[in-house]
Structure 1
Amino acid sequence: MPHTDYDVVIAGGGMVGASLALSLYVHSGGKLRVLVVESFALPPLAESGVPAYRPSFDARATALSFGSQQIYQELGVWSLLNEHLSTISQVHVSDRGHFGSVLMTAESQGWQALGYVVENMWLGNVLLNHLRQHTNIEFLSPAKVSGIQIADGYANLTILDGEASRDITSQLVAVADGAESGLRAQLGISATVADYHQVAVIANVATERPHNGCAFERFTERGPLALLPLVNDGSGESRSALVWTFPENMAEEVMAWSESEFLAELQRNFGYRLGRLQKVGQRASFPLQLMQADEQVRRQVVVLGNAAHSLHPVAGQGFNLALRDVDCLSRMLAMAQREGRDLGSLGLLQGYVASQEVDQRVTTAFSDQLTGIFSNRQPVLSVVRNLGLLLLDVTPAAKSRFVARAAGIMPGSSAESW
């Protein structure tokens, strides 16, 4: 096995890339030489060891499943993350204009929480600050991997660092540069895309009543919407993160609504479970697709996160699935390093794909089918859907399985007993 500059180079220092770097460090006991290449400048390193928390009404957030909490607990950062996140103690699922609904609670599962909502900036800063305290994890930022050539037993990477260009070698390259991955395309890895013909509009909303840790999934005639509880930003307002889907031909219209028009339409669709909707922050929209890379591994290459699979956001499964991929891969790489094996061998990487195949398939199907069922407004399907919600609400075993699936816990896993 040829000598290389690094064991693993991670192209992309976002939440997935940073999580991978930390997981590799923990599971290898700091033995792996890791380089993270990120195109954006890193935030200043906190001298106290704890990054500054800067509250903002418009901060974007991610839902972490119960299973993801367990992963971050093992990686040693959960106590820091926990300082500024909101606990999901219950989830209310309903269908506007119909009788079916279901309430899922952490208490009924015997859990402390069904999940958590964390602001992306806080999660990213905690991970990066924690990583940069370890000398064998290096960062290049702002910089990018501009080329990859696969040789016999290693990858040769060209990195643009400011005005300079340099070549480095690594046993493995982890491509984690997002759904529109330039590196994936450069490698000639195609992707299968199913277009939902929908757009997601995201924003934060201030409500009259406190959310009390309740997340809402609401299905409307135009598409599903989700409201996730957010931590108080210091203003005293109760905030929730909104993800609202619309047919793609409504994108410009929705983004052009005034604040009062947007709030009125959201109130009409969501109802008054949180009282009057008082304020909406900056809105953003993006088209919705189910994207899956046709290859997740090649010799010396692995594709992760949204570059590997991008799911509908309303079901809240995408990042949690990526984190489970990261956990599985880093454990396998750490074991291979201890055994002196090539970290980029095709057999090893195919073993990772095989280990995650069921989780990826089931999670993708769960997200896709849930979206399809609740986006279809055919009268017969509406009746069946709402009968299903009623049945789910009165059948403890079925509800428990549904909750576990949404929490990222596979049937039969030891995590079911948590």
Structure 2
Amino acid sequence: MTNHTLIIGGGITGASLALKLAQAKLPVTLIDARPELTAEKWQQILSKRDARVYALSLASIGLLKETGVWDKIEKSGRKADYSQMQVWQLDGVGELKFGDEDAAIPKLLGSMVEPLVIEHALWQRFQEEDVKNYLTVIAGQKVTDLDWLGAEKGYRVTLANGERVDGKLVVGADGRGSFVRKQASIGLDTLDYRQTAICCAIKTEKPHLATARQAMLPTGTLALLPLADITEEDHANPQHWQSIVWTLPTNQALDILNDSDEEIAASLAAACGYELGNIEQIESIASFPLNAQQADTYVRDNLVLVGDAAHGVHPLAGQGLNLGLLDVIELFATLHHDWQRSSGNSWAALSTLRRYERARRPHNSIMMHSFSAMNWLFAGEFAALRPVQQIRSEGMYRVSKIKPLMRLFARQASGV
């Protein structure tokens, strides 16, 4: 079919776009290098708590509702809604609080959901009849080559098993190291923060009270994000498990990672000023280096990038996946609008893809540089200067008193 779309990368962003297209009865093939998991394997994986969590905005939740995925996440019980956000710094005064006590701010700001919980809900949705006729999933196969056949025909994709698949449009949703981006010879603007994030799951002495917290430390940000209660013990004493993302200079992070679990827990509790008391349990300690990146362009003839393949931001505001899902919303709307306007005669023309890029790239660029500026303002040698600390403290205090600005920040965080 002339409008056949090939999505390379079966993560949350690529899978969400695939479902949107299939729901609109537009044929799509989703190609994922990871092997397909059985229902039994999924059950085994989900029996354990994941230290990682995505802070889904209301806009992202809206997309998952439209695709029929959110209902499955709700039924799983593996989400933790948050109605308040708290941001503070330990080396100064001033604190920002967003919460449902203000009627102008949404009572629900978002939900924390483990990545594999979302992926499992997507996998379940793939099996349902209303999308199966339009959605083909090829799992466990890497893409080894992309051949452009001209603007009218699009691309021929070669898989590791030798199979070839043709599509008018190729969507690169294959992450930060995107093979699609490299094959299209699209350059990348990168920024190395020389920081490493330590992530883990912790059980705190005090409950989190549906509040997402972020301490701005001289060494980097420390986020405490609510996790869903999954065991009978959790439900008997709810709201004590949280996901941690602790940003540190790489050398300091590596030193801490050499400590025992008990020592890391003690360091974490001290770092956040014992905001929720002592840390009683700690699980699944891991780490990853931090950088930001932006593709020089999001589009070529018959090819478009979404999500991490197009951009990557500092995790201090937890907006990486949300930006990717906003890409999905915009790309689908742009493609579908032109398809309908042309009575089904135009699919993924370069002019259409350029409109998507004009809508998303400037916004993503602003977000990337804003997060970088915040990181620079709060962490590092410059941030440690006394005049900078005083300006930062006064600024946070003043901003906290300007209600319209606080509402704007809350709306931006929720994506609505």
Q: TM-score, normalised by structure 2?
A: 0.90
Cα shift readout 1:369-403 (whole Å, capped 9, x = no counterpart): 22222222222111111111111221111111121
**1:61 paired residue number:** 53
**2:364 paired residue number:** 360
| Rounded Cα–Cα distance in structure 1 between residues aligned with 2:85 and 2:276 | 14
**1:412 paired residue number:** none
The number of residues matched between the two structures is 398
The 8 Å contact of residues 266 and 278 in structure 2, kept in 1 or not, is answered as no
Is 2:222 aligned against 1:215? no
**1:269 paired residue number:** 271
The 8 Å contact of residues 174 and 302 in structure 1, kept in 2 or not, is answered as yes
| Rounded Cα–Cα distance in structure 1 between residues aligned with 2:91 and 2:359 | 42
Q: Supply the AA of the counterpart residue of 1:350.
A: R
The 8 Å contact of residues 227 and 243 in structure 2, kept in 1 or not, is answered as yes
Q: 1:194 aligns with which of 191, 194, 215?
A: 191
| Rounded Cα–Cα distance in structure 2 between residues aligned with 1:119 and 1:137 | 25
Instruction: Evaluate the alpha carbon distance shift between residue 377 and residue 24 of structure 1 in structure 2; reply closer, same or farther with a 3 A threshold.
Output: farther
**1:414 paired residue number:** none
Q: CA deviation at 1:79?
A: 2.4
Is 2:111 aligned against 1:116? yes
| Rounded Cα–Cα distance in structure 1 between residues aligned with 2:346 and 2:154 | 12
**1:75 paired residue number:** 67
Paired residues for 1:286-305 under 5 Å: 286-305=288-307
Partner of 1:281, secondary structure, is strand
Partner of 2:390, secondary structure, is helix
| Rounded Cα–Cα distance in structure 2 between residues aligned with 1:92 and 1:74 | 30
Q: 1:169 aligns with which of 166, 169, 184?
A: 166
| Rounded Cα–Cα distance in structure 2 between residues aligned with 1:54 and 1:316 | 22
**2:348 paired residue number:** 344
Q: CA deviation at 1:13?
A: 0.5
| Rounded Cα–Cα distance in structure 2 between residues aligned with 1:406 and 1:377 | 27
The 8 Å contact of residues 154 and 167 in structure 2, kept in 1 or not, is answered as yes
Partner of 2:46, secondary structure, is coil
Paired residues for 1:97-112 under 5 Å: 97-108=91-102, 109-112=104-107
Cα shift readout 1:314-370 (whole Å, capped 9, x = no counterpart): 211111011011011012222233322443321110011112244323322332222
| Rounded Cα–Cα distance in structure 2 between residues aligned with 1:144 and 1:150 | 18
**2:156 paired residue number:** 157
Cα shift readout 1:65-88 (whole Å, capped 9, x = no counterpart): 122122222333222222321011
The 8 Å contact of residues 12 and 175 in structure 1, kept in 2 or not, is answered as yes
**1:392 paired residue number:** 399
Q: Supply the AA of the counterpart residue of 1:346.
A: L
The 8 Å contact of residues 290 and 310 in structure 1, kept in 2 or not, is answered as yes
| Rounded Cα–Cα distance in structure 2 between residues aligned with 1:81 and 1:342 | 35
**2:245 paired residue number:** 243
| Rounded Cα–Cα distance in structure 1 between residues aligned with 2:100 and 2:125 | 30
**2:230 paired residue number:** 233
Partner of 1:282, secondary structure, is strand
Instruction: Evaluate the alpha carbon distance shift between residue 400 and residue 225 of structure 1 in structure 2; reply closer, same or farther with a 3 A threshold.
Output: same
Structure 1: stretches of 5+ with no match in the other structure = 410-418
Q: Supply the AA of the counterpart residue of 2:146.
A: I
| Rounded Cα–Cα distance in structure 2 between residues aligned with 1:242 and 1:305 | 23
Instruction: Evaluate the alpha carbon distance shift between residue 45 and residue 336 of structure 1 in structure 2; reply closer, same or farther with a 3 A threshold.
Output: farther
| Rounded Cα–Cα distance in structure 2 between residues aligned with 1:120 and 1:186 | 28
Q: CA deviation at 1:22?
A: 1.4
The 8 Å contact of residues 55 and 234 in structure 1, kept in 2 or not, is answered as no
| Rounded Cα–Cα distance in structure 1 between residues aligned with 2:394 and 2:408 | 18
Q: CA deviation at 1:222?
A: 1.1
The 8 Å contact of residues 88 and 117 in structure 1, kept in 2 or not, is answered as yes
| Rounded Cα–Cα distance in structure 1 between residues aligned with 2:38 and 2:339 | 32
Paired residues for 1:319-338 under 5 Å: 319-338=321-340
| Rounded Cα–Cα distance in structure 2 between residues aligned with 1:362 and 1:59 | 29
RMSD, aligned CA:
2.0
Q: TM-score, normalised by structure 1?
A: 0.90
Q: CA deviation at 1:45?
A: 5.6
Q: Supply the AA of the counterpart residue of 2:193.
A: Y
- Please, which moves more after superposition, 149-158 or 60-69? 149-158
| Rounded Cα–Cα distance in structure 2 between residues aligned with 1:362 and 1:408 | 15
Once superposed, which parts of structure 1, at least 4 consecutive aligned residues long, lie more than 3 Å away? 50-53
The 8 Å contact of residues 24 and 331 in structure 1, kept in 2 or not, is answered as no
| Rounded Cα–Cα distance in structure 2 between residues aligned with 1:377 and 1:55 | 43
Q: CA deviation at 1:251?
A: 3.4
The 8 Å contact of residues 145 and 157 in structure 1, kept in 2 or not, is answered as no
Q: CA deviation at 1:313?
A: 0.9
Partner of 1:283, secondary structure, is strand
| Rounded Cα–Cα distance in structure 1 between residues aligned with 2:101 and 2:7 | 39
